[in-house]
Amino acid sequence: MRLALVGACLLGVFLPGLAGAQGLGDVAGRERTRRDTRPATPAKVFTNDDLSEPEDEPSDVEEPADVEEDEPLPVSAVGANDPLREELDREREKRALEEREWRARFAEARALVRAAEARCWREVVRTEFYNGIPVQMKVQEFVETEEFRLAKAELAALEEEFRRTGLPPGWARE
């Protein structure tokens, strides 16, 4: 009796949900008919006329009175003697000089590491056993020297110093 009562309750809970359930195909069909019955709005097409500045609104840029509209402004008219421009040029030159100095420091440090690494390779005679037969052969062996360790440490210190400056990382690359 209890089992029948529990079964009836479960059917009462799930049956209405199952009866109202709809398939994905039903939803897709209704959406398709909704789109087909809706009037299509034409896409907005922008032309150069839409992008040009309206003539009746005042412009923020002041044009010199003696220069025609179609004629490009000469470089001297843009403000060659402008103190702000001169300061900007000085800043650019300073920045370019700073970049060259950092690149030269990194190039020198990397050259020292490469030279020290080249001196770490030694030619040694090794005895290897092949099928129980001892064979002596000359091989190149890398023996890390104190010079190489110091050169690598100097390069790492330079990279850390550069990282703390906050300058563009490209300056540290080769």
Q: Is the pLDDT of residue 115 over 80?
A: yes
Residue 151 CB burial class (10 angstroms; 0-12, 13-18, ≥19): buried
- CA triple 51-54-59, angle to 5 deg: 105
> Do residues 126 and 139 lie in contact, with contact meaning Cβ atoms separated by under 8 Å?
yes
Distance CA 120, CA 97 (A): 35
In this prediction, residues 10-39 reach a mean pLDDT of: 72
Residue type, 124: V
In this prediction, residues 104-108 reach a mean pLDDT of: 95
What is the tens place of the pLDDT at every residue in 11-22? 555 555 555 557
Q: Where are the domains of the chain?
A: 83-164
Least confident of 22-26, 91-95, 166-170: 22-26
Q: Which residues pair with 121 in a beta bridge?
A: 142
What is the tens place of the pLDDT at every residue in 51-104? 776 555 555 555 555 545 555 555 554 556 788 989 999 999 999 999 999 999
Greater confidence, 31 or 76? 31
pTM of the model: 0.48
Distance CA 174, CA 162 (A): 14
Question: Residue 121: which H helix or E strand, with range?
Answer: strand 121-130
| DSSP at 168 | -
In this prediction, residues 149-173 reach a mean pLDDT of: 94
CA 50 from centre of chain: 34
